[in-house]
Chains A and B, each alone.
Chain A
């Protein structure tokens, strides 16, 4: 049997990769994808806890369904905003979004 800690480790690595990507990548689409990785890390965590947690039950799987839905909605809104930004600025590079310094 695979121990619970390995699932948590995968989730932790995925979360950190996502956070790193979201904070450092230049391309806006990659930033949004990295955020999806962070949500997926949470889902792995929740499903792993639903099977191996201290009080294992189904709630974790239900919670992960909610989290998937929210992540999808967030990606949709993020992409819509990115498209309207692209129409005005013709750029998807995060480091060029600096019109509001001071």
Chain B
């Protein structure tokens, strides 16, 4: 019989549900060996092309899993459900964009170790994928650290570049501190429930909370939330973002601002929604029952969201460096993305995912154009965009579409995403949060339109030489423009697709362990 093999219980699991991760793992391993064996003079872009193929294969595997019943192996350490599939599709698309961007703009003089660059992107992606599809604190933490460690190295990959070194060191220090804080919170959860499986935790935590340990549950929640807010660059832990974004190579910045942030949202939603699902607060005087996460902690998450929106949008106003501006804009976008979690309606996942899709394509497009412009100009300042309309009209128009999407102007995906989030906040009568969201969005127009002003109304002092667009960046831009406009003009199609193919509620179901037949 199969189960009696020397692998014991490991041989019985149906490993095929792990196919996307295994593909990435195999490609990362193979590419590191190929990189070692290739002669020194060979162009390392071949590794990038192979990596891109691996990402696409993994994306196909992931999308073939849409709409399946939740399944899990290794006692929920690996879990496949609609939530995981949707987030993994976002990570894989984001990394595919990062690959296209690096194939088009990465300079051999700038990044000496190009082979490492590509397979570290893959290992970072592997970590992000585990953050989305695991239901066990140990595996989630290891996924988080795999993503963090790979991105520390990616940020500092320009070894001779002082700013790159400095930002990598800042990233390591803040990243490690927040990892330790997260882990400290997890250790209290383990102490209260004696398990690291999220479903068992959910089962036990309700009684423990009632049994007089409510303060420790609160403490663990805050420690974990503060630690994990590092990944999404939300307020208590946002200070690293501008420096790290500025020092990192542009494709890495794009990766950090989209994939790493989406992975942070995946782990936050996964841990807190499952872990606190049974924790009920009973009012001692009235006997009224309230859900801890939905009714009590929503306020704190809302405060974090509001503070991120305010700080991100106001600090972005005074930036002259494009990457720093995008970092503060990313802090503000993290605030918008926390609003559905704070207000917690039934549409939580659809709102978050729609906004993440809009954010993914707009941000990736902006970073792709920025990589071209800063390579052409030799710096990342916003004034480098001056006269872009005369030099490359198509680039300027697509940049405008992406900026409008981030600002939330109609006809783009960002508008509907923001509107959808805004609605939930109003529906839960969370008017203060809706108001702050509205007001800070208006503030954000100033700096987004500042870039447009440079592109259309200024002339470049360096003359009107044309910018050559490499084919892979061209492909990335076309895809990003099409999706941004399509999701903006026909949002109902996207919502229907999400609604029909992803049953996000099945995140709460305890899955059957799949074994070989």
Contacts and interface: CB of A to CB of B under 8 A. Distances in A.
Nearest to A56: B194
B247 to A, nearest CB: 7
Contacts of B193: 54-55
Given A62-B138, A85-B169, A49 B190 contact: yes
A100 B167 contact: yes
B179 A70 contact: yes
A32 B145 CA distance: 16
Nearest to A67: B183
Nearest to A66: B138
| Band of interface residues on B | 35 or more
A66 B320 contact: no
B402 interface: no
Interface in A19-44: 19, 22-23, 28, 31-32, 35, 38-39, 41-42
A24 to B, nearest CB: 12
B314 interface: no
A55 B213 CA distance: 14
Contacts of B196: 59, 63
A82 interface: yes
Given A54-B194, A84-B156, A42 B177 contact: no
A81 B165 contact: yes
Nearest to A64: B187
A76 to B, nearest CB: 9
A68 to B, nearest CB: 11
B188 interface: yes
B166 A99 contact: yes
A74 B184 contact: no
B190 A81 contact: no
Interface string B129-156: 0000000011001100100110011001
A78 B173 contact: yes
Contacts of A32: 173, 176
A15 B184 contact: yes
| Band of interface residues on A | 35 or more
Nearest to A88: B162
Interface in B184-213: 184, 186-188, 190-196, 204, 208, 213
Contacts of A97: 166, 169-170
Nearest to B182: A42
Interface in A62-93: 62-63, 66-67, 70, 73-74, 77-78, 81-82, 84-85, 88-89
A27 to B, nearest CB: 12
A70 to B, nearest CB: 5
A39 B165 CA distance: 24
Contacts of A82: 169
B194 A100 contact: no
A94 B146 CA distance: 25
Given A45-B188, A77-B152, A55 B204 contact: yes
Interface in B389-442: none
Contact of A100 (B142, B149, B166, B181): B166
Given A18-B180, A35-B173, A77-B153, A49 B165 contact: no
A31 B173 contact: yes
Nearest to A37: B180
B108 interface: no
Given A22-B177, A74-B145, A84 B165 contact: yes
B72 interface: no
A60 to B, nearest CB: 6
B499 interface: no
B223 to A, nearest CB: 10
Given A70-B145, A88-B162, A46 B187 contact: yes
A38 B183 CA distance: 9
Interface of B: 137-138, 141-142, 145, 148-149, 152-153, 156, 159-163, 165-170, 172-173, 175-177, 179-181, 183-184, 186-188, 190-196, 204, 208, 213, 242-243, 246-247, 318-321, 324
28 contacts: A31-B173, A32-B173, A38-B181, A38-B184, A45-B191, A49-B190, A53-B194, A54-B191, A55-B195, A57-B194, A60-B191, A63-B187, A66-B138, A67-B183, A70-B141, A70-B142, A70-B145, A73-B145, A73-B149, A74-B149, A74-B172, A81-B153, A85-B166, A85-B169, A88-B160, A88-B161, A88-B165, A100-B247
Interface of A: 15, 18-19, 22-23, 28, 31-32, 35, 38-39, 41-42, 45-46, 48-49, 53-57, 59-60, 62-63, 66-67, 70, 73-74, 77-78, 81-82, 84-85, 88-89, 94, 97, 99-100, 102
Given A85-B165, A102-B324, 19 more contacts: A22-B177, A35-B176, A38-B181, A46-B187, A53-B194, A54-B208, A60-B191, A67-B141, A74-B172, A74-B179, A81-B152, A81-B156, A82-B169, A84-B156, A100-B167, A100-B242, A100-B243, A100-B246, A102-B318
